[in-house]
A and B are shown apart, each in its own frame.
Chain A
Amino acid sequence: MQTLGEFKLPHFFNYPPYFTLQPVKDTREKQIQLWKELILDYCRTQKIFVVGLDEDFLLFSNPVIERSLSHEAREAFLSALVSEGRAEWLDKSHKRCLILWHRIQDWADLIISFVKDNGLEDSVMTVEEMRSGVESRGTELHGMDRTILMRALKHLEHKGKLVIFKGTSADDEGIKFSL
C-alpha cells in the first residue's frame, strides 16, 4: 500500500477517476464523501490545520498515476467540509481553508480535560503556554493552530468556564480558569 510520509493511503488513491470531479450526481456525492474523510484523516495524523488551495498540499496530487486535482475540484471538496462545519474559509477568495478535524466543541472539551488533568482549575496561564508549554506536551493541544485555540477558548469563556484577559506582553493573552 502506498504511503505519504507515515500516512497510509487507501487503495483508491491510485484510481484515476478519484482525481476528476465526477459530473454524475450520485457518483460525485460519494466521491466528495471519500475526499472529505481522507482530508480529515490526513490532517489529523499530520497535524495540518490550514490547507492552501494553490499551495502544494501533498494529498491533492498523486505522482504515481500522474494525476492531480483541478482547482475546481479542490474547492468543491473543501467547500463540502465547510458546509459540514468541519472546515472554515480563512478568506473571502477561498484561497486558504482551516481544517477542523476536531470541531470547536471537541477542542473545548479537550482543553477542559487538559486543565483537569494538570490541576489547573483555578490557575492562570497564557495562550502561548497552552500551545507550546511543558504541560501540554504529548497532548493534542500541543502545537495546535492559534486561531482554533482562540475559538475554543472564546467558546468556553462564553460558557463562563474561564476569562480571557490582556497579558503583560502585547502579543499574548492570559487565561483565568474557573471550573
Chain B
Amino acid sequence: MAGDFLPAAELTASGRPVLKSGEVECSLLSAVDLLSEELPTFPHLKSGLVILTTHRLLWLPPETGTHTKSSCFVPLSAIQHIFSAKKSIKSMFHSPRIRFQVSTTSDGKVTERGGLKSAVITLIVRGKTDPDSFLGKLWDAWRGRAWEASGSESGSQSGDGEGSTSGSLALRPPVVGVAGILRKEQEMWESTDKSLQDAFQDLNALMSKAKEMVMLAEKMRLKLLSGSNNQTSGTNDDEMGTKEEMHDWLLSVGIVSPVTKESAGALYHQQLSRQLADFVKIPLERAGGMINLIDIYCLFNRARGTELISPDDLLQACSLWEKFDVSVMLRKFDSGVMVIQSKSHSDDEVFTRIRSLVMKPEALQNGVSASDAAMTLGVAPAMAKEYLLAAEGKGLLCRDVSPDGFRFYINLFLELNPEDIYLVRDHSRYSTWIRAVSSS
C-alpha cells in the first residue's frame, strides 16, 4: 500500500482534493505513474492524476470516487532535491520522467524535513502534456516554500533562516506575464486546430460583430501553419518577422484565455465539474433541490472572484457529471430551460404541493399564474412555470389563455363524463370546484 510510504490525501465527495488554508493549485498533469525505483516495496502507482499545489504534490488514482483511499501526496517540504531532466538518447524512447529526492524515515516512509534516510521518487509522464513546464512549476512551487509562510504544521521544526527566505520567495505566484503567455501560446501551436477553433467559437458567441476579425485571424493562423511547415526548407527573415507580428496580433485579439484552458485540456473541465458538484450542494439545498443554471453561473463566478468561467465551460462541466458519481445532475426541460437538480430531489413532492395550491378556493376560482406558484414553491417564476407545465403534461393541470394572461387550473376534464355532461359526482374535484365557484 502507498500508505506505508506516503500520507493519504483527503478528497471531497466529488473527488477534488481538500486544500489546506493558503494552499493554491498550480498545475495538473494526467496519466502519471508514481514510483520509487530504489525502494523495492514501494508500490507502482499507475496512470493517475497529479495535482501540484504550493504545498504538496498529490497523486489521485484514475476514476477517483470509487477508491478514494488510494490517493496520496508528497509534501513539498519533504523534497530535498529535484533532478533536472536528463537529455539522452535513451530518454527519447522513454516516456518523460521527473525525478526528485525526498527525505524518509529509516523504514522508508516519506517525512517532512528531518528524515534519516532519503529516496528518489520518479514520476513517469505518459500523457501528451509537456513535462518540462510541469517540472518548471514544481521547481517554482518548491522554491516558493509557501508551507513555511502559511504557518508550519505542528510538530515540524522551523528551519534556520526561515525569516530571511519567506519574505522574498514565499507565495510566489505561478509563472505569469508575457513570458508565461507566450509559452502557453507556444503550447497552443502544437494542437492548434481544435483549440483555435474552440477559441473562435467562444469569440463568435461573445461578439457576433467580430466575424470579420475572426476571419482575419483564421487567415493568419493558416499562414502561420504553412509557415511552420516550411521551416525545414529554410525560413527567411521576412517570414519570421511576420510570424511574430501575428503572435502579437492574436494576443491582442484576446484568445489567450481559452488557450490556457486548452492547455489544461480535458482535465480542466473534469476538475471544474468536480469543483462545481461540491459547490452547488449548499445553494441547491437552499433552493429546495433545484436551481436554475443561470443562478448557479452567477453564484459560482461570484465565489470564484477573478478566475471567471464562461457559460460554455459551465455547461461542459455540468454535462460531465453523468460520468462521475456525484449527487447532482443537469436537467433540461422541454422548453429548453436548464436546471441543476439533486438526484434525491423528486418531482412528485413538487406536484403534491402544486396540487394543494390549485385546490385552494381562490385558485379554483381564478387559477394560478407562474408567479403565484413561484411564491408558494419558493422558486423563481421561470422555474415555477416549468413545474406547472410539467404538471400540465402529467394531466394534473390544464391551462387558460385569455387577455388576462396565462393561468393554470386543476384539471377537471379527465373527471367529466361526455356521455352525461350534466352529471356531477359527489366528492369529486368537479363538485368541489362547483361549490367554490358558486359561493362567490
A interface residue numbers (CB < 8 A to B)? 8, 10-12, 14-17, 19-20, 22-24, 26-27, 30-31, 33-34, 36-38, 41, 66-67
Contact = CB atoms under 8 A, between A and B. Distances in A.
A31 B414 CA distance: 9
B413 A41 contact: no
A66 B405 CA distance: 13
A20 B421 CA distance: 18
Contact of B398 (A8, A22, A33, A66): A22
Nearest to A16: B400
Given A27-B395, A33-B418, 12 more contacts: A12-B416, A12-B421, A17-B412, A20-B399, A20-B400, A20-B402, A23-B399, A27-B413, A30-B413, A30-B416, A30-B418, A41-B421
A127 to B, nearest CB: 35
Interface residues of B, number: 25
9 contacts: A12-B421, A14-B437, A15-B412, A17-B413, A20-B398, A23-B399, A38-B421, A66-B402, A67-B400
B311 to A, nearest CB: 30
A11 B414 contact: no
Nearest to B414: A30
A23 B395 CA distance: 11
B93 interface: no
Contacts of B100: none
Contacts of A41: 421
B151 interface: no
Interface of B: 367, 392-393, 395, 398-402, 407, 409, 411-414, 416, 418-419, 421-422, 424, 430, 433-434, 437
Contacts of A17: 367, 398-400, 409, 411-413
A119 to B, nearest CB: 38
A16 B402 contact: yes
Determine chain B's interface SS by DSSP, over half rule.
mixed
Given A17-B398, A67-B402, A34 B416 contact: yes
A24 B402 contact: no
Given A10-B421, A22-B399, A66-B402, A27 B416 contact: no
B421 A37 contact: yes
A27 B395 CA distance: 7
A17 B367 CA distance: 9
B394 to A, nearest CB: 8
A137 B398 CA distance: 46
A15 B433 contact: yes
A106 B416 CA distance: 28
Nearest to B424: A11
Q: What 9 A-B pairs have minimum CB-CB distances, sorted nearest first?
A: A33-B418, A16-B400, A30-B413, A17-B398, A10-B421, A17-B400, A20-B401, A27-B413, A11-B434
